[in-house]
Chain A
């Protein structure tokens, strides 16, 4: 099973709402990632969890709050977002280390977020 599952697929929220994005994988990967992708742009790294600990935060505003409850799950809590935060949010997972052939990230299909 090489699947990364993201829910919901689409989300519309107002600037005062609180919502969460969810990501799940069962490949035994101990690294999980959140990316933000605007239209016609490459994915931009937001957060990295390694062994369930936050290891990289790419200076993301605090209105985005990641959480890794266990090795299979990754959440992104959203609060007081701005319209410019509208984007495709991608989750990915990978091995933390190992043979080079395993340095591959597996991506979910993403959550299309619209902030009104």
Chain B
């Protein structure tokens, strides 16, 4: 079964706009990760946030974590056409990682 559920399932925006994706999970976690997948390719790790962190930044990415609500959000600022991909949250342990349903982001030039 899937640990996390993302919303929205699909998001279409114009280049330069911000994109926000949300993830909810069901069980207690030690940390949460976000991965990106270009169409038909492998997943690429984007960012990891620990359970005792509330916010983390990496370049144009901002991740928040609310353990009381069992939810996380990924914000991509100043989006580019190259950001078009599917984005998945994932919960550990690493040997049994569970991925959320994913958000398909389309950034129009």
Query: A residues bordering B, Cβ < 8 Å?
Result: 4, 6, 31, 40-43, 45, 48, 50, 55-56, 88, 90, 92, 94-96, 100-101, 103-110, 112
Contact = CB atoms under 8 A, between A and B. Distances in A.
Interface residues on B, range: 20 to 34
B40 A105 contact: no
B42 A4 contact: yes
A3 to B, nearest CB: 10
Contacts of A6: 42
Interface of B: 2, 30-31, 33, 40-45, 48, 50, 88, 92-102, 104
Contact of B44 (A43, A103, A107, A110): A107
A58 B98 CA distance: 12
A31 B2 CA distance: 21
